[in-house]
Structure 1
Amino acid sequence: MESNNNNLNLDMEKDQETTFDYSKRAQWLRAAVLGANDGLVSTASLMMGIGAVKQDVRIMLLTGFAGLVAGACSMAIGEFISVYSQYDIEVAQMKRESGGETKKEKLPSPTQAAIASALAFTLGAIVPLLAAAFVKEYKVRIGVIVAAVTLALVMFGWLGAVLGKAPVVKSLVRVLIGGWLAMAITFGFTKLVGSHGL
């Protein structure tokens, strides 16, 4: 009898796993992965771009830090406005449907979304900054940044795929190619512009 109960419990747990709506994770997952990936790629690209014309580690780190601060603020403000707009729409819809009553506690918090986006961006942006901080040799520093960013892109891509129950390889390839392209384009165009004395 006890083994039947255990089997029943296991079956119920499996049913809950298979019927879990992964789309409910979409909003926070999207914001977290987007924020971290954006912080990683944009900061690394800025650092690579400035590294294309200035080999000084201090300038590269200051550029990366400025990118971190500006990007985290931008992500927080953008997410706050986006979620607040959604919040207003949902509150208005609730009022129409229920004759003026609203259950705001079920709605997403714009402030929490803003903080989460800023933190996620910062987490991603720290990777290239730390990678470059301790390497004086210019070419080695560029290589270390690319390697660290590649590793982080793989981790973020894998995490996003696993949490969202999406195909892992497809996610990894998409994230890697996007990150590499951003760094290469920024490096190349900045080198081109810098070589013409602008």
Structure 2
Amino acid sequence: MPNLSVTGIIDEAESIARSEAADLVDRAAHGDQAAWSRVVDHYARLVWAVTRSFRLTDSDACDVSQVVWLRLLEHIDRVDPVRVGAWLVVTTRRECLRVLAFRKRVLLTYEPDAFEVVAGDQPELDADLLADERAVDVRRALESLPDRWQQLLGMLMADPPAPYAVISERLDIPIGSIGPIRGRCLDKLRVLLAS
């Protein structure tokens, strides 16, 4: 039996452990449920240790852990099986930082009326519904205008708006008449939308 040093024995044991873990990851990537369970068992303490190093609450640490395992499941076919431990550490750190960044945006207060004075930055619950209904009303009003007026407004509302010279040429309208016609179109739209 060859004479091995202690570090040589440790290196050999780590190499065997890495190759076994890589084999498990490779089998899990090909759908082996038992291999997936063993991968999770093998690396769960590593993921948990990284989350605890960020001093997350238990619930946040559990959430991060779940997200990390989900990310591994999503990317297992692209992760180098030999480097899965390093990949898990990096992914766990990123998720922990994301949770901490989210926590910075949360404002804790003991005063029950603290948020009554702060104007909300969220639209009212029915704002989208009302905006959609208003858009339908505007479309209907536009469709009731003469075709030439619809074309004129379409060109003026384009992004970027068409220059008056282009509008004049395409619609055969004198440049000096575009503004007054636009005004009549908008007046007519206001009347249609008011009714």
Does TM, normalized by the shorter one, top 0.5? no
- More helix by percentage: 1
| Rg larger in structure | 2
Q: Relative contact order (C-alpha < 8 Å, sep 6+): which is higher?
A: 1
Return the TM-score normalized by structure 1: 0.25
